[in-house]
Amino acid sequence: MDTEWAYDRGSFLLLQARPITTLAPEYQEALIDQSVPWVSLVKRPFSLLEYSIIGHWTDPQHAAADLGFLHLNRVLGIQDDANLTHLCLSGPGVEEAMSHLLDVQKKDRARLIHMLEKGQRLYDEGIKRVENKESFSELREVFDYFCEVGKFTVVLPAWLLLALEAGGVEDAEAHRLAEDLRAHSVYPRLVHEVLHPFVAEYARKAGFSAPEEAPHVISWDELERGLDLEIMEERLLAKRAGHHFVYQQIDDQVQVRFLPETGYLLMRLADSRLPAASSDGDCLTGQTAWPGFHRGRARLVLSSNPEGYSIEEGEVLVSVQSNPNLMPLLRHAGAIVTDEGGVACHASIVARELKVPAITGTGRATSFIHDGDFIEVDATSQTVRIIERA
């Protein structure tokens, strides 16, 4: 514990105490492979089962013949306190995949267009499957189908749009086909209306106590090997206790953990990159003290004394720096933003203790943000954005 105390006229007084948050096991242990840098791409409400299939979209077995230029053998998923899973891939793998995709567009464009058109056909078939409530007869059929749909209706169009933009390439037809697939994705409906019910029924027949929650406590690799009901029941208890999963796949090695706190891992990933300067006039950047996402009204506190200030539950406290005197205000904040400070400053310690998104060291938050502005704090991406000026 970090304690503050006093000795007054023969009496020992304990003023306040709080956990030393950076000593948590999840912060100290090497829970994920960091031999190469990870790049966090998106965060979505993926189930463990859904995310584990994503890891196979671009593996050698399923991508080599079709998406050889998107062969990625390292996948990391970290579920946060909001039950959003952060999709992370290896930095070098991402760069290589983008380069290969541009190369295919330049040298074998007909093949690229053919694959985009295949994605459209799979989209149409997927819509029919959902509307007709068609299911599957066996696990392998489920897996192969979802890998196919994922590759051609999700991965290919998304990465192609990124590559075309990054490379400054004009290709109206490819861009249109990719945009159509991205704008009308069938994959989420297939997951929730086909995949999850199929696996839930499979778990029910096997005797799992909560079959509807089976997709949240088992990966595809584990499902294919055969249900281990003991592990599933343990994870179910952990999930109901607020634990979150970490899924890591490197080549054909898969590791699944359920942890009481994953924010430390997300902080570690955020600390591995410097905040990029933003050219957006309504955005500033800083250092993540605790990851997360929050929107609320800004309340500027420009004094170390809380008297005269008030903050409603969920509003964002914006200050030059934080100190123990401001605890009555900080306890109500939905997020914290400061001009000064780093990972060991008071605001960072309090954010980790209260588990609220916080960005420190912005340099100019109190001059950039006005009292009453409606702002967005994305502490995972290290940005603060003005949504609406007061």
Across the beta sheet with 293-301, the strand order is: 283-285, 383-388, 374-378, 293-301, 316-319, 335-338, 358-360, 287-290
pLDDT tens across 69-117, in order? Answer: 566 778 999 998 878 898 888 888 888 888 888 888 999 999 899 999 9
Both tokens of 69, joined, read 């230029």
pLDDT tens across 221-241, in order? Answer: 899 888 999 999 999 999 999
Confidence of residue 28 (pLDDT cuts 50, 70, 90): low
**What's the 3-state SS for the chain?**
CEEEEEEECCEEEEEEEECCHHHCHHHHCCCCCCCCCEEEEEEECCCHHHHHHHHHHCCHHHHCCCCHHHCCCEEEEEECCCCCEEEEEEHHHHHHHHHHHHHHHHHCHHHHHHHHHHHHHHHHHHHHHHHCCCCCCCHHHHHHHHHHHHHHHHHHHHHHHHHHHHHCCCCHHHHHHHHHHHHCCCHHHHHHHHHHHHHHHHHHHHCCCCHHHHHHCCCHHHHHHCCCHHHHHHHHHHHHCCCEEEEEEECCEEEEEEECCCHHHHHHHHHCCCCCCCCCCCEEECEEEECCEEEEEEEEECCCCCCCCCCCCCCEEEECCCCHHHHHHHCCCCEEEECCCCCCCHHHHHHHHHCCCEEECCCCHHHHCCCCCEEEEECCCCEEEEEECC
The C-alpha atoms of residue 63 and residue 295 are separated, in whole angstroms, by 39
Q: Tell which residue, 304, 311, 300, 307, has the closest CA to residue 365.
A: 300
Q: What is the pLDDT of residue 280?
A: 59
Confidence of residue 30 (pLDDT cuts 50, 70, 90): confident
The C-alpha atoms of residue 322 and residue 279 are separated, in whole angstroms, by 27
Q: What is the pLDDT of residue 279?
A: 44
pLDDT tens across 297-317, in order? Answer: 999 998 878 888 999 999 999
Half-sphere exposure of 357 toward its Cβ, with a 13 Å CA cutoff?
26
CA distances from 215 to 87, 228, 253 (A): 17, 13, 20
Q: What is the pLDDT of residue 26?
A: 56
Q: What is the pTM of this model?
A: 0.73
Around Cβ 328, how many Cβ atoms within 10 Å?
Answer: 12
Q: What is the pLDDT of residue 277?
A: 47
| Rg, C-alpha atoms of the chain | 24
The C-alpha atoms of residue 90 and residue 113 are separated, in whole angstroms, by 27
The residue that leads in pLDDT, 61 or 134, is: 134
The answer, yes or no, to whether residue 199 has pLDDT greater than 60, is yes
Q: What is the pLDDT of residue 48?
A: 96
The C-alpha atoms of residue 338 and residue 167 are separated, in whole angstroms, by 36
The residue that leads in pLDDT, 358 or 342, is: 358
pLDDT tens across 118-176, in order? Answer: 999 999 999 999 899 888 888 888 888 888 898 899 888 888 888 888 888 999 999 89
Q: Tell which residue, 248, 218, 254, 255, has the closest CA to residue 233.
A: 218
Q: What is the pLDDT of residue 352?
A: 84
pLDDT tens across 176-196, in order? Answer: 998 888 877 788 888 988 999
Confidence of residue 29 (pLDDT cuts 50, 70, 90): low
C-alpha 114 chain-centroid distance: 32
The C-alpha atoms of residue 317 and residue 296 are separated, in whole angstroms, by 10
The residue that leads in pLDDT, 273 or 356, is: 356
The C-alpha atoms of residue 307 and residue 268 are separated, in whole angstroms, by 36
